[in-house]
Structure 1
Amino acid sequence: MRKQYHILNGDSLKEQFPEIIQGEIIVARECLVDGNVNGNSLPDLFKVRAEFISNNYDGYKEQDYFEKTVPEFQKIQNIPDNVDINLWFEDDLFCQVNFWFVINLLIKSNHNNQLFLIRPESHSQYGFGGLLKSELISIFESRLKLTELHDLSLLWVCYQTNDTEKLIETSKRLKNLYPFIDIAVEAHIERTPKNGNMGRPSQSLVKIIEELNTAEFGPIFKEFCKREQIYGFGDLQVKRLLDEINNNR
């Protein structure tokens, strides 16, 4: 078997990763689904992301981004040729945007490697976190070899440049092979405010607040994750949305 590299979407999966699965582990520590992703180059993007996260996520400094996030992406760029690269990403929009970025990064690095996608057999709010180690081993053994890499890479370009029309067009081309991408793109489109109305996640939060008749974050967050699992938002993303809603009232 060729040498294996595993790119994981977050540290929580790293903590539960089965020791029996051999290979180098790289963690994509980002939430590109949230905030500014502009940048004409990778260093520009990293600078923009470091500024955004440090300004919006309490307890996270720009230096943290360059010490904890950037080195992992540099590891991706430095993966050698003739290896298998296993991408552990779920179907929700949070995971998908990171997945598109990683694919783009790999394509730009001109690797002569085989790429595989590992994802839970069924989409749920728990994702990989809801699987036993034996189940993680099972989905690794049934991994999907990725094709149409140019279009997968193009998804990130369209997302970054906010080219909605081309993003939809590309996801439709990939729909037969990767139907979950089309669903994630639809969810992304629906979070954009239109005709004076809030986007889908914010509308959902307002409805949840009214139905639960509470301003307590815990129950609101739990219900949002159940109803809008397609977004894959963590507590930080939902809290930002709630703050925006409250500020606009």
Structure 2
Amino acid sequence: MAKSFHILNGDALREKFPSSLIGEIIVFRECLVDGDINGDSDQEFYQSRAQFISKAYGDVKPERYFEITVSELEKIKQIPQESSVYLWFEDDLFCQVNCWYVLHQLSNQHHSGEVILVRPFTRLEYGFGGLDMQGLKEAFERGKFLSNEEFLVLSKMWKAYLSKNDNELYDLVNELPDFFSYLLEAVKAEVARRPSNGDFGRPEQSIINIIEELQTDEFAPVFREFCKRESIYGFGDLQVKNLLEKVKNSK
């Protein structure tokens, strides 16, 4: 009998994950939407991520990154080809980039078993955090089993994201059926991050607008408002704090 694996989008979901759902749990502790994601090998990729995380977030030393993050990423590479893999990721850009990476890894491993997308059915800003244990079970039961063609297309999203090939991102989304229409908003949000004509990208410009409207650059109110307006990005406090500092330092 094939094994089952649940790849979760963070420790918050791990803490409330229904014990009745059978399978090995892998916690994806990364934020690939932010920072350097290059590397000619997995080890180079891990090293660049460790350095970025340590510099950008401060409280995570490179050795700690390898201990808590790389150890889980390596588990993905050990998943047997015929296993059922449940991907518990939300619809925002933060989660989707991580999901694309996982799908790319599974494709590289010639995964032949079932791949199932488990998405929350709450409003975007709440995600899995807006579901109780019964709600998580219902999300599991609503999981989308990927066809071979859908799996192939989705696995290509990571490379397109990595190379910042916006046209390919749009083309890949357009190859998918209507169920995946949520990806279009994530791709639009990604493309809008690019500065143009010397201006900031969408996230920074949103921060500027919020500061002007609220008449404050204090983190707490800016963060709350950003999460309301720009929930498509899925940014946490650390990402928004760095955006705020970037905007303030530009003045």
Residue in 2 that maps onto 1:48: 48
Partner of 1:6: helix, strand, or coil? strand
What are structure 1's unaligned runs of at least 5 residues?
A: none
What residue in structure 2 maps to residue 3 of structure 1?
Answer: 3
1:111-150 equivalent positions in 2, closer than 5 A: 111-147=111-147, 148-150=150-152
- Show the counterpart of 2:192: 190
Residue 178 of structure 1 pairs with residue 180 of structure 2: yes
Structure 2: how far apart are the matches of 1:123 and 1:199? 25
> Which residue type is aligned with residue 34 of structure 2?
D
Aligned-partner Cα distance in 2 for 1:81–1:94: 26
| C-alpha distance in 1 between matches for 2:15 and 2:56 | 26
Is the 2:5–2:83 contact (alpha carbons within 8 Å) kept by the matching residues of 1?
A: yes
Name structure 2 gaps, 5 residues minimum.
none
> Once the 2 structures are TM-superposed, how far is the Cα of residue 201 of structure 1 from its aligned partner?
0.8
> How far did 1:158 drift?
0.8
The 3-state SS of whatever aligns with 1:35 is coil
- Per-residue Cα deviation, 1:44-91 (whole angstroms, up to 9, x for no partner): 111111111111102111111111111111111101232210000000
Deviating beyond 2 angstroms after TM superposition, the runs of 4 or more aligned structure 1 residues are 174-177
Call closer, same or farther: CA 1:17–1:44 in 2, change over 3 Å. Answer: same
- Counterpart for residue 235 of structure 2: 233
Q: Secondary structure at the match of 1:167?
A: helix
Equivalent residue for 1:63? 63
Instruction: Please name the residue that 1:20 is paired with.
Output: 20
Please give the alpha-carbon distance, in whole angstroms, between the structure 1 residues aligned to 2:168 and 2:138.
35
Residues 93 and 186 in structure 2, CA contact (< 8 A), matched pair in contact too:
yes
2:219 matches 1:217: yes
Query: How many residues are aligned here?
Result: 249
| SS at structure 1 position matched to 2:178 | coil
Choose 196-205 or 93-102, whichever is displaced more. 196-205
Task: Provide the C-alpha distance between the structure 2 equivalents of 1:146 and 1:218, rounded to a whole number of angstroms.
Answer: 40
Q: Deviations over 1:97-145 (max 9, x none)?
A: 0000000011111222110000012432121011010010011012100
Is the contact made by 1:117 and 1:143 (CA closer than 8 Å) also made in structure 2? yes
Give the TM-score normalised by structure 1: 0.96
Distance 1:126 1:120 in 2: 9
1:175 is displaced (CA, Å) by 5.3
The answer for the alignment partner of 1:151 in structure 2 is: 153
For 2:166 and 2:112, locate their aligned partners in 1 and report how far apart those are by CA, in whole Å. 30
Contact between 1:38 and 1:161, CA under 8 Å: does it hold in 2? Answer: no
Q: Give TM-score scaled by structure 2 length.
A: 0.95
| CA positional deviation for 1:169 | 1.5
SS at match of 1:162: coil
SS in 2 for 1:237: helix
Partner SS for 2:13? helix
- Residue identity (%): 49
